């Protein structure tokens, strides 16, 4: 890809970190307010909130929202998904909660791109699909536990189910025929997409040009400073077209190229107004972050801007772990200063601190009390106290 002719503006990493934290709304107390409306607003601002099954502590989607909504309650997400229907579940780079307002940008994937995952669904026959759709259409929404007439089969994958109907439900979900109308823990209730939202049909699919603009605007809103890698995270096929879109916005003076120390040939851009207000009035807050938080999950970007390389050890053999099964980065102000390996003991109503690892050369004495206070708040959230 050719390098744009405009000379990049030198941007210190410290400024880039603050811009990213501002975009992630991690530099303000309760930036979205409180209650169910805050949950909707947070998902709409971030663009997606990743879902994950690991529950050694509270699952990632609740954790991510709590990091930005101090008074967050799990019922708020249920309200948004099941009652208000302002968020829905679908695949971004991973299974995520997405604003319902953005549905049309995923309809094309529902109609076409699900075939990329067809290896998971080769065992699903047209009859299997018709069976589950007919049952939901006539009897109403259901969970996999409601299906008790399957002939059980051997698993072909550790995460698979012995019920063939589960694959059929998942296929119908990826095709946009079904949606998850309610989630209790990891138990999903499937409903007809159109019936859940009260639509006659799905929204008209966005064009590829509209999707590119959507992805770029989402990244600028939630990242502040962007690169091709960060805009097209795990979506490399879109990079050439995205680069052309960025160039066109630069020509219209809507984007400014910036040069980050240590980034090498990796180009970055931001909006001119972001550059003008990049260092104003951040609060020096403490956040115990999920490994799936949008600040953490793009590992190369995190390493570049924070000089911290996160190591996810849940799938690492115990004897080879350095930081713990589910180590959580601790953000103090604009620096990641420690890792905490935590586990919720739900029977004893305790949050267990299994390992505390300090990072870098930060002042441990000045941070320790504040992190301990954050841990007490985090425990109350974990155990719903």
Domain ranges for the chain, please list them.
104-197, 286-382
Between 154 and 27, the higher pLDDT residue? 27
pLDDT tens string 36-62: 999 999 999 999 999 999 999 999 999
Q: Which residues pair with 286 in a beta bridge?
A: 332
Burial (CB count <10 Å: 0-12, 13-18, 19+), residue 74: middle
pLDDT tens string 192-225: 999 999 999 999 999 999 999 999 999 999 999 9
Whether 210 contacts 107, CB under 8 Å:
no
104-197, CATH topology level:
Arc Repressor Mutant, subunit A (1.10.10)
Structure tokens at 345: 């003991």
Mean pLDDT estimate for the chain = 91
| Predicted TM-score (pTM) above 0.85 | yes
Confidence of residue 385 (pLDDT cuts 50, 70, 90): low
Whether 45 contacts 30, CB under 8 Å:
no
pLDDT of residue 122: 77
pLDDT tens string 13-34: 999 999 999 999 999 999 999 9
Confidence of residue 155 (pLDDT cuts 50, 70, 90): very low
Distance of CA 222 to the CA centre of its chain: 11
Confidence of residue 363 (pLDDT cuts 50, 70, 90): low
pLDDT tens string 260-298: 988 988 999 999 999 876 656 667 899 999 999 999 999
Confidence of residue 314 (pLDDT cuts 50, 70, 90): very high
Whether 314 contacts 323, CB under 8 Å:
no
Q: Is 331 helix (H, G, I), strand (E, B) or coil?
A: strand
């Amino acid at each position: 890809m050719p390098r744009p002719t405009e000379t990049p503006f030198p941007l210190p990493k410290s400024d880039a970190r603050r811009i990213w934290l501002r975009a992630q709304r991690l530099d303000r107390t309760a930036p979205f307010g409180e209650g169910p409306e805050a949950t909707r607003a947070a998902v709409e601002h971030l663009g997606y909130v990743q879902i994950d099954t690991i529950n050694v502590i509270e699952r990632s989607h609740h954790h991510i929202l709590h990091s930005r909504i101090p008074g967050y309650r799990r019922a708020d997400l249920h309200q948004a998904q099941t009652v208000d229907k302002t968020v829905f579940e679908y695949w971004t780079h991973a299974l995520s909660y997405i604003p319902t307002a953005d549905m049309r940008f995923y309809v094309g994937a529902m109609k076409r791109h699900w075939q990329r995952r067809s290896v998971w669904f080769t065992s699903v026959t047209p009859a299997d699909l018709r069976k589950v759709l007919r049952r939901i259409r006539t009897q109403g929404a259901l969970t996999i536990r409601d299906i008790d007439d399957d002939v059980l089969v051997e698993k072909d994958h550790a995460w698979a189910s012995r019920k063939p109907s589960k694959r059929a439900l998942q296929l119908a979900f990826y095709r946009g025929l079904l949606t998850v109308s309610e989630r209790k823990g990891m138990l999903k209730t499937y409903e007809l997409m159109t019936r859940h939202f009260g639509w006659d049909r799905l929204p008209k699919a966005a064009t590829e040009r509209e999707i590119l603009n959507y992805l770029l605007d989402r990244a600028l809103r939630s990242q502040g400073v962007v690169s091709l890698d960060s805009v097209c995270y795990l979506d490399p096929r879109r990079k050439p077209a995205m680069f052309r879109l960025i160039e066109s916005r630069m020509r219209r003076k809507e984007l400014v190229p910036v040069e980050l120390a240590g980034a090498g040939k990796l180009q970055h851009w931001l909006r001119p107004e972001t550059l003008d207000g990049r260092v104003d009035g951040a609060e020096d807050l403490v956040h115990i972050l999920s490994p799936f938080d949008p600040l953490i999950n793009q590992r190369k970007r995190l390493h570049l801007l924070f000089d911290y390389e996160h190591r996810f050890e849940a799938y690492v053999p115990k004897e080879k772990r350095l930081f713990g099964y589910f180590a959580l980065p601790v953000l103090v102000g604009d620096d990641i200063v420690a890792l905490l390996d935590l586990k919720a003991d739900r029977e004893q109503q305790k949050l267990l601190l299994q390992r505390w690892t300090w990072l870098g050369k930060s002042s441990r004495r000045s941070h320790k009390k504040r992190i301990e206070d954050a841990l007490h708040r985090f425990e109350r959230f974990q155990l719903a106290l």
